[in-house]
């Protein structure tokens, strides 16, 4: 993959065209954009940057053909549209490649190179580091992108190197963030894991900590990363007794990644969640500035994050109280305009980790997005049907495209197709079940 990165560097270097960079709006896409734009800036390259929710045919058609187009953390599923562009295209992405790679596209993707699986931010970091060793200070952003796209569960040599470059402290423990803040506050605001009777209830938090025999020290509770093994074990037991079942235990324990950010020890998961929140609350410029070390952007990002968490708690409450379309091993949640389209995917992800759903259950959530509907599908647990393939069978005949992975995928459909989509989805899910 490094050879492909070198070709991309050479293509950028010799190009006389202005550079336009387009990146995805989730944590991995934003950290990719921050790494890549900082590297270009230090390289004295002029460029423009745009953050997008996804790629549609009309948007790609509107892109200038007198520019070198560079896509980060997206575009592997849009090659049929990109081959029509009369300009060179560079893609740094890790998603599945659905079409033949056109002659005008230089693709840097670990899936092509028999390389270990890494996120978009990691690819952008390898680009920056190959360009100059002075860019090693961008490794922290690659760690945040790694956590944002859940790559921390499958670390290989590349990530070992990135974690070392970022001078990251790794500690095993309960995957509750922020692990660097007092435990009572972290528990009260916890949405992933969502703890029944505790999340959103300070009284429930105090009861949980009392049951776990964790007490204040010097007038305040320890941060999660400061707990002893015994305290960590007691806390996990108390949480499991409040509604989680055995299938969740292994998912709730893992590595905590502590990084230096704004000269302070921070939890990479919390930073990832904050960045993701800003984008999903329509403030991608704020989180990009935050990633690039702007102090004002940090203040703004923290305000947006609080607002986002309030939206998320309200959305989860709506889902728990609303009627759902349920079948054998699937649940469809049609939120319409009751949940923002930008957070419906996060809601689907949180629900998929809930003890209410057995392994293999497919969760499909819908939310209105102006004249479109955002569809997010998630698989509960680690084994089951390929949700991207399930969505593809429904959406492609309707004239749409699906992006994502086997256990997490999404698409856009028109509002006119709402009932047709749900009917066809139920047919496919029921037929798939018979096949299984």
Query: pLDDT (tens digit, 9 = 90+) per residue, 131-190?
Result: 999 999 999 999 999 998 888 877 889 999 999 999 999 988 888 888 999 999 999 888
Range 2-167 has CATH code 3.30.1330.30? no
Alpha-carbon distance of 209 to 53, in angstroms, equals 40
Confidence band (pLDDT; 50, 70, 90) for 249?
A: low
Confidence band (pLDDT; 50, 70, 90) for 247?
A: very low
Beta bridge partners of 103: none
Q: What is the mean pLDDT of the chain?
A: 91
> Is the Cα torsion angle 225, 167, 272, 107 positive or negative in sign?
negative
Question: What is the model's pLDDT at position 434?
Answer: 45
Question: What is the model's pLDDT at position 188?
Answer: 87
Question: What is the model's pLDDT at position 436?
Answer: 40
**Model's pTM, two decimal places?**
0.79
What mean pLDDT is predicted for residues 56-84? 94
What mean pLDDT is predicted for residues 201-217? 93
Range 322-435 has CATH code 3.10.310.40? yes
Confidence band (pLDDT; 50, 70, 90) for 246?
A: very low
Confidence band (pLDDT; 50, 70, 90) for 391?
A: very high
Task: Note the pLDDT tens digit of each residue in 118-147.
Answer: 999 999 999 999 999 999 999 999 999 999
Structure tokens at 349: 């992800």
**Residues whose CB is less than 8 angstroms from the CB of residue 9 and which lie 6 or more positions away in sequence, other chains included:** 127, 130, 131
Q: 92, 8 in Cβ contact below 8 A?
A: yes
What mean pLDDT is predicted for residues 368-380? 92
Kindly report the backbone phi and psi dihedral angles of residue 191, in degrees, each rounded to the nearest multiple of 5, phi listed first: -115, -20
Asked whether the predicted pLDDT for residue 44 surpasses 90, the reply is yes
B/e letters for 86-117, b = 16+ CB within 10 Å, e = fewer, are: ebbbbbbbbbebeeebeeebbbbbbeeeebee
Alpha-carbon distance of 414 to 256, in angstroms, equals 41
Asked whether the predicted pLDDT for residue 202 surpasses 50, the reply is yes
Nearest Cα to 33, choosing from 105, 118, 123?
Answer: 123
Alpha helical stretches, state H, 281-375:
284-291, 295-321, 344-352
Question: What is the model's pLDDT at position 243?
Answer: 65
Q: 208, 195 in Cβ contact below 8 A?
A: yes
Domain ranges of the chain: 2-167, 170-316, 322-435
Beta bridge partners of 408: 378, 405
Asked whether the predicted pLDDT for residue 245 surpasses 60, the reply is no
Q: Of all helices (H) and strands (E), which one includes residue 165? A: helix 157-165
Alpha-carbon distance of 363 to 361, in angstroms, equals 6
Listed range (173-177, 205-209, 265-269, 377-381) with the worst mean pLDDT: 173-177
**Residues whose CB is less than 8 angstroms from the CB of residue 149 and which lie 6 or more positions away in sequence, other chains included:** 26, 27, 28, 119, 120, 121
What mean pLDDT is predicted for residues 413-420? 93
């Amino acid at each position: 993959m490094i050879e492909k990165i070198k070709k991309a560097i050479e293509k950028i270097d010799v190009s006389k065209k202005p550079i336009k960079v387009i990146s995805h709006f989730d944590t991995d896409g934003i950290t990719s954009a921050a790494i890549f734009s900082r590297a270009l800036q230090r390289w004295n390259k002029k460029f423009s940057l745009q953050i997008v929710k996804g790629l549609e045919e009309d948007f790609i058609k509107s892109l200038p053909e007198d520019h070198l187009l560079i896509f980060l953390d997206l575009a592997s599923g849009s090659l049929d549209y990109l081959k029509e562009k009369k300009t060179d295209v560079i893609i740094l992405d890790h998603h599945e490649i659905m079409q033949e790679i056109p002659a005008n596209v230089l693709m840097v993707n670990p899936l092509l190179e028999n390389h270990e699986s890494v996120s978009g931010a990691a690819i952008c970091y390898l680009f920056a580091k190959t360009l100059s060793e002075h860019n090693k200070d961008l490794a922290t952003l690659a760690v945040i992108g790694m956590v944002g796209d859940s790559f921390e569960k499958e670390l290989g040599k590349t990530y070992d190197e990135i974690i070392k470059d970022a001078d990251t402290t790794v500690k095993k423990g309960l995957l509750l963030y922020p692990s660097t803040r007092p435990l009572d506050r972290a528990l009260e605001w916890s949405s992933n894991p969502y703890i029944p009777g505790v999340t959103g209830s300070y009284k429930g938090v105090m009861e949980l900590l009392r049951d776990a025999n964790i007490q204040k020290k010097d007038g305040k509770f320890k941060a999660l990363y400061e707990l002893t093994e015994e305290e960590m074990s007691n806390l996990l037991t108390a949480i499991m007794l409040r509604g989680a079942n055995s299938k969740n235990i292994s998912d709730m324990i893992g590595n905590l990644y502590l990084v230096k950010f704004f000269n302070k020890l921070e939890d990479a998961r919390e930073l990832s969640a904050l960045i993701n929140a800003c984008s999903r609350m329509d403030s991608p410029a704020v989180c990009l500035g935050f990633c690039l070390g702007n102090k004002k952007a940090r203040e703004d990002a923290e305000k947006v994050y609080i607002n986002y968490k309030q939206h998320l708690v309200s959305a989860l409450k709506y889902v728990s109280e609303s009627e759902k379309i349920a079948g054998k091993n699937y649940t469809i949640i049609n939120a319409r305009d009751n949940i923002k389209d930008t957070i419906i995917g996060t809601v689907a992800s949180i629900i998929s980790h809930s003890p209410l759903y057995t392994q293999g259950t497919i969760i499909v959530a819908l939310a209105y997005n102006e004249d479109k509907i955002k569809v997010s599908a998630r698989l509960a647990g680690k084994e089951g049907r390929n949700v991207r393939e399930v969505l593809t069978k429904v959406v492609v005949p309707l004239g749409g495209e699906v992006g994502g992975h086997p256990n997490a995928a999404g698409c856009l459909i028109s509002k006119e197709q709402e009932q047709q989509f749900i009917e066809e989805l139920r047919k496919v899910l029921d037929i798939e079940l018979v096949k299984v």
